[in-house]
Structure 1
């Protein structure tokens, strides 16, 4: 989360939009994002120019050499009316024309983008404010988007935008994307999971860019994201382009509907799907209803994961706690499907404060592999108690953090075999889970050690009470004597 000085700067920029007449939060975020994008395009260009100069190689820039004033670093110093004219009539049309073939995610969703800042004075203030935002750190960039989205009154109700960056990063590190993976987030929001996955690949598989085929796959077919909000699609497309992914598949789609025809197409699902209650059966794909007859989105998305994954594909998905222990036929059906027909590997329970201040719901991460033939022998449970931040609305950084321990232990599961049920993580045999109605709540299996507390004999306690009463009576008498004087 962003705090302190950066948060204050963002709030001041938001206030400029508000007082300038742009009061719809989504419009503010769109216009804010366009300006951030223009600034970051120039910053990325400067880095590439410096690298080319250092290596002594020729570089063909993104910006036309005869139009240097299209760059943020140039027009930001101009007088307000001149800057406004250039941004409105030249810079904005320029960014809309990027990837002009119309096939890229960026070009699809920038086509209907509109520049709505009404006056030169307002633009000048916004450019000055945004120019002082330090956006070099990728986590800061993601946190900034998240903070902006927190200002949408409805954003907290569907869980779509609320995945903290450190939770996303942990999930990516648990499933370890590979250069050959085909990754999807069926409810992508701002593409946080896709951004984190590409960062992981750059950090741990940088050699993939030396292979023409893998490089082509990375830029064009590896990353896939779907959403039903065109604003989110625009932000997600810009986010991926700024992170160096040229042409991800980002599309407007209701992933749970008949419109989604994907079957066994992906090798990795990373998701925190919205838990917005119930849908009408008519709006849900019949294929999903065959797996689980329910109107609940959290169960339908798990069924969707199983349908769209290839055999051997993996999933790390956040679910509300009710999925783990719900007693309805549909809840049990989904859990049974995961355990009996596929390989459920881990259930990581997270404390309810993880999604504050937006929501206080308790959640868990389910990690499983699609096999179609079973394979669940035992399930690893982890009881996360701290994620490095306070679990209240302020979410201040703290020293307690289970995330490094979760990653280390999940990567060394052979060493977990002898862990006791009183420990923070342990295995549970599949037969025990079956006997408990496929209940996946950690509290069903966790054992608590109680320490015996010894109390004094009642006679001794009574004597102490009488002594205290005598002391109180003596003190009252002293007060009476003082009042009589």
Structure 2
């Protein structure tokens, strides 16, 4: 997690921008994201320069041309505030807005990043504020990609409405667990219909680079498929789309399909059964009017609840044989409404429900204290659920309070992944263990209740107490000792 030193630096930057006149927290984050992006572009170009110097070859795909050298962070950060302000406003910012453009005057063929950046605005109020923020950002070491993610997480945590409007990041270690469990391959088409800052898509791309780099970079066609055909994300917040697009570009995915879309309100037949893997943490709270919800989702489950509608959406988007790892509030697992039961019955009877991982309520602090679970299933449209694997996660490596202090010795995540990869060995596990299998028939007999407490058995330890007579005798002895001690103290005081 982010260190106290970096937190205090981010707080100072935030105060600088706030006092400078940028009062909307999301605008603060957006402007900081642009500056972090500009800084990262310079770092990437420097790496390319060093590689070229080592190999004696020209720079591969340079970010800045020789004429654009002055646009680099390392160059303009040394200039006077007024000169820096003019340079960033008039040259650097326009440069990042068209980055990735294919050179078409009418904009046809531009990347999704370029499309989302068209409405981006430079809002730094004065040269003094910009110079101050640049100096402070420059003092933060962001060589580690985790640090950049932590910066986002901490900044988003400063938005007062974070837990209500869904604009907070899923913790990176939880995302990584879900990606590791689904093990994306170069053949996958991956979608997050509520992508926000694109955390799931980035983690999936990193997994594929780590495990399948030979395949995804094999030739020009394979690279194009990885950069343009693998990752798909929707959101209806244009700021999040810009941040998500920049995030993906910084992580080496040049032109992902990240676009504006209200996933629940638009029925897009082009997306039906299009994806082989869905990774998502959709908005929990809220309900929609029946009139504003896609009719085909209402056919799957008649409800206004967004968390149930998103589950129906996942089923519509997945190809047959496609798999999903998604986060849901606990209410989805045991809610008693007709819609709740219908959805769970669909997952168990019509699809292949693979696993339910119950997470402690502190995982999403400080944004929200809601209890959640990871649901993993495979779309079959012909059943296939045999046994459902349950895991009762007690710890995720961090304290479960608002501070979320690192506790590396307290984590179930490695055990979860190891047991998931060897589910055959779980058959003999007792219901008192952290994980176990539950037969489909038992789940059906319990009204398709998927809460782990319905099936987990608790071992009660027998504790023997002394008899009341012994306790009273001990108490009388203590009272006598106290009285004697008080009398001795009184004698000493005279």
Aligned twin of 1:403: 413
Q: Is the 8 A contact 1:320 1:362 kept in 2?
A: yes
Residue 124 of structure 1 is aligned with which of 122, 127, 131? Answer: 131
In the TM superposition, residue 58 of structure 1 has moved relative to its aligned partner by 2.3
Given the superposition, is the C-alpha separation of residues 46 and 455 from structure 1 closer, same or farther in structure 2, using an over 3 Å criterion? same
Q: Is the 8 A contact 2:156 2:167 kept in 1?
A: no
Distance 2:438 2:111 in 1: 46
The equivalences for 1:325-340 within 5 A come to 325-340=334-349
Deviates more, 1:448-457 or 1:415-424: 448-457
Aligned twin of 2:120: 113
Give CA deviations for 1:360-418 in whole Å, capped at 9, x if unaligned: 11000000000111110001110110111001111101120111111111111111111
Deviates more, 1:74-83 or 1:348-357: 74-83
Q: Is the 8 A contact 2:419 2:426 kept in 1?
A: yes
Structure 1: tracts of 5 or more residues without a match: none
How high is the TM-score relative to the length of structure 1?
0.96
Is 1:70 paired with 2:71? yes
Distance 1:144 1:451 in 2: 45
Distance 2:70 2:259 in 1: 33
The equivalences for 1:62-461 within 5 A come to 62-101=63-102, 102=107, 103-208=110-215, 209-261=217-269, 262-398=271-407, 399-461=409-471
Give CA deviations for 1:171-210 in whole Å, capped at 9, x if unaligned: 1111111111100100011000011110111111111212
How high is the TM-score relative to the length of structure 2?
0.94
Give CA deviations for 1:331-376 in whole Å, capped at 9, x if unaligned: 1111110000111111000000111111111000000000111110
Deviates more, 1:463-472 or 1:45-54: 463-472
Superposition RMSD on alpha carbons, in Å?
A: 1.7
Aligned twin of 1:13: 13
Distance 2:134 2:475 in 1: 72
In the TM superposition, residue 479 of structure 1 has moved relative to its aligned partner by 7.1
Distance 1:481 1:80 in 2: 77
In the TM superposition, residue 475 of structure 1 has moved relative to its aligned partner by 5.7
Secondary structure, counterpart of 1:225 in structure 2: strand
Secondary structure, counterpart of 1:85 in structure 2: helix
In the TM superposition, residue 65 of structure 1 has moved relative to its aligned partner by 1.1
Secondary structure, counterpart of 1:423 in structure 2: coil
Aligned twin of 2:3: 3
Give CA deviations for 1:209-233 in whole Å, capped at 9, x if unaligned: 1243332111001000111100000
Distance 1:200 1:35 in 2: 27
Q: Is the 8 A contact 1:253 1:260 kept in 2?
A: no
Distance 1:310 1:54 in 2: 46
Q: Is the 8 A contact 1:225 1:250 kept in 2?
A: yes
Q: Is the 8 A contact 2:180 2:417 kept in 1?
A: yes
For this pair of structures, how many residues does the alignment match? 484
Given the superposition, is the C-alpha separation of residues 180 and 460 from structure 1 closer, same or farther in structure 2, using an over 3 Å criterion? same
Distance 1:12 1:18 in 2: 10
Give CA deviations for 1:41-67 in whole Å, capped at 9, x if unaligned: 111111122223323332242212123
Q: Is the 8 A contact 2:267 2:295 kept in 1?
A: no
Distance 1:405 1:330 in 2: 34
Given the superposition, is the C-alpha separation of residues 47 and 94 from structure 1 closer, same or farther in structure 2, using an over 3 Å criterion? same
Given the superposition, is the C-alpha separation of residues 35 and 465 from structure 1 closer, same or farther in structure 2, using an over 3 Å criterion? closer
Structure 2: tracts of 5 or more residues without a match: none
Given the superposition, is the C-alpha separation of residues 82 and 418 from structure 1 closer, same or farther in structure 2, using an over 3 Å criterion? same
